[in-house]
Amino acid sequence: MSFPRTLGELRHSPFSEEILLTRRVKDELRDNLVAKLRKGGPIFPGIVGYDDTVVPQIVNAILSRHNFILLGLRGQAKSRILRALTSLLDPQMPFIAGCEIHDNPYAPICLPCRERLEQCGDATGIAYLTPGDRYVEKLATPDVTIADLIGDIDPIKAARGGHELSSEMTVHYGLLPRANRGIFAINELPDLAGKIQVGLFNIMQEGDVQIKGYPIRLPLDVALVFSANPEDYTARGKIITPLKDRIGSEIRTHYPASVEEGIAITTQEAWTQRNGHRLHVPKYVQEVIERIAFSAREDKKIDKRSGVSQRLPISCMENVISNAERRAIRHDEKLVVPRVGDVYAAMPAITGKLELEYEGEMKGADHVGRELIRAAVAKTYDGYFKSTDMNQIVQWFDLGGEIQLADSASACEALTSLRNIQGLMEKLVKLNVGPKDTVETQVSAAEFVLEGLHAHKRIGRNEERVFTAGEKAPKVAEKSFDRDEMPFRGRRPYN
Ligand SMILES: [Zn+2]
């Protein structure tokens, strides 16, 4: 398909003066949204868990032609939603070729374009922008200046062109004018200095702004969208009132409401399809990983105000798979099946994402991380085995049985020792795992049962991943001492 290349051609195309002059960015977003609503189907594909909450509010904001702000803790897909707005822009948008601020061919606002139009008339060149070109994003920090955001007077440009300093010819445009006729997103809006917020407000309200004391008229056409942490946003004076007033809709985001939704997001975002090995992530491993985030969000040792990002389960899942992948490579196994042991090995993907409160700091991130995993395992285990009688297995350990399940142990090796535990393998039917399943799958399932029993403190497990009898179980070094204290316990050779 060929598009008009000059203003003259443009006049007789679907991009006629009548249409382009009246259709501002917010009209365009609205029109394309209306079309999408009529067609049915998801408005923002890939945004999970917001269908009944956030998405309808965004739809209303766009239908209302509002500038809007998303309020939410970190890792709630705020930036992703804002970026998804480009799917509501036209596939192509004509502008005056070469213009830094993508001027409307029928009504340019910059002086160079106006002069060019006067000289060239209908021969003025036209170029096009794709939706991606029309999205400008800025993370607000306190050191962002008017020059960054709006523009600066460029004395060199003035000297070269022989212009007055205050001439529009000498302006070096900042990010906002460069987003003209597109979407401008500012993340963490409250971090923007008050003075800059005033500049932003003036542009939204009056279409003019002062740069170094010179008034510059810039009637921009921009859809402004913002994101912020609710704690920062409601703190007094963080967002200047007139600006707040001009933000039409304030929309709250949230973490996934259910473990299932969390799993759907993590499955979509985590890098799991890797070349080389076949991968099977058991459902209970997915649940354990997701529940770590759920538990952390409720844990009083963790700072509520900064939240626990959905990036925690995502990174955790990636590390869990990597640990299982490492094991598979070492033992030349063809199938990668993560185990609960791999979740404990994924601690580096967890601890860095937790902002600890004082009590948590005292205990240490590692300790807090382990406790979270343990709680997640206990809860997940209950989902499958709450009413299952596990006494036979517990007894086996109470009678002195021991088994080491290093996360690096090969599946065949591990299965041989797991089969020694009476009553264990037949319990796996609750996980839909049986003797016909792959060795890797059986080992992972059996280990999950043991980890579940350990999480409920029914059996013990030490740092070397040796499963033993209950809480007072001997540590490796103190084995003989503890055993003497518990003479009532039967003995079982463990090699
Ligand atoms: Zn221009």
> pLDDT tens digits, residue range 186-201?
999 999 988 889 888 8
User: How far does the centroid of ligand 1 lie from the alpha carbon of residue 104, in Å?
Assistant: 8
Cα-to-centroid distance, 100 and ligand 1 (Å):
6
Q: What is the C-alpha to C-alpha distance for residues 134 and 137, in angstroms, rounded to an integer?
A: 10
Distance from Cα 97 to the centre of ligand 1, integer Å: 9
Distance from the alpha carbon of residue 393 to the mean position of ligand 1, in angstroms: 77
The candidate with the shortest Cα–Cα distance to 293, out of 324, 345, 257, is 257
The model's confidence at residue 414, banded by pLDDT at 50, 70 and 90, is: very high
487 or 384, higher pLDDT: 384
| pLDDT value of residue 213 | 75
Report the separation in Å between the CA atom of 101 and the middle of ligand 1, taken as the mean of its atom positions: 6
The alpha carbon of 99 and the centre of ligand 1 are apart by a number of angstroms equal to: 4
**Rounded to whole angstroms, how far apart are CA atoms 269 and 304?**
24
| Å from CA of 82 to ligand 1 middle | 26
> Structure pTM?
0.83
Band the pLDDT of 164: cuts 50, 70, 90.
low
Total count of residues recorded for the chain: 495
CA torsion sign for 372, 459, 287, 344 is positive
- What's the whole-number mean pLDDT along residues 147-173? 74
Rounded to the nearest whole angstrom, what is the distance from the C-alpha of residue 103 to the centroid of ligand 1?
Answer: 5
* Three-class DSSP category at 302: strand
CA of 175 to the centre of ligand 1 (A): 15
Query: Residue 217 gets which letter from DSSP?
Result: E
**Which secondary structure element, helix H or strand E, spans residue 208, and what is its range?**
strand 208-211
Cα–Cα dist 97/241, whole Å: 38
Q: Give the pLDDT score at 183.
A: 97
Provide the pLDDT for residue 1: 60
Residues 6+ apart with CB under 8 A from 195: 146
Checking if the pLDDT of 25 tops 80, the result is yes
CA–centroid distance, residue 253 to ligand 1 (Å) = 37
Question: From the CA of 254, how far away is ligand 1's center (Å)?
Answer: 41
CA of 95 to the centre of ligand 1 (A): 9
293 Cα to the center of ligand 1, angstroms: 49
pLDDT of 212 > 90? The answer is: no
Q: How far is the CA of 126 from the centre of ligand 1 (A)?
A: 11
Q: Which residue has the tokens 């939410």?
A: 72
| Rounded distance from Cα 109 to ligand 1 centre (Å) | 6
- The stretches of 44-110 forming alpha helices (DSSP H) are 54-63, 78-84
Could you identify the residue written with the tokens 């997915």?
286
Give the distance (Å) from ligand 1 centre to CA of residue 246.
27
Average pLDDT, stretch 424-439?
Answer: 96
Asked if pLDDT for residue 302 goes beyond 80, the answer is yes
User: What are the angstrom distances between the C-alpha of 480 and each of 361, 472, 486?
Assistant: 35, 13, 10
Cα-to-centroid distance, 186 and ligand 1 (Å): 24
DSSP state of 100: T
**Distance from C-alpha of 163 to C-alpha of 171, rounded to nearest angstrom:** 11
Over residues 205-227, the mean pLDDT reads: 83
Assess whether pLDDT exceeds 70 at residue 355: yes
Which residues, at least 6 apart from 166, have a Cβ–Cβ distance to it below 8 Å?
A: 153, 214
Give the distance (Å) from ligand 1 centre to CA of residue 10: 17
Q: Which of 247, 245, 113, 124 is nearest to 180 (CA)?
A: 113
Measured in Å, residue 137 CA sits from the centre of ligand 1 at 21
Q: How confident is the model at residue 158 (pLDDT cuts 50, 70, 90)?
A: low
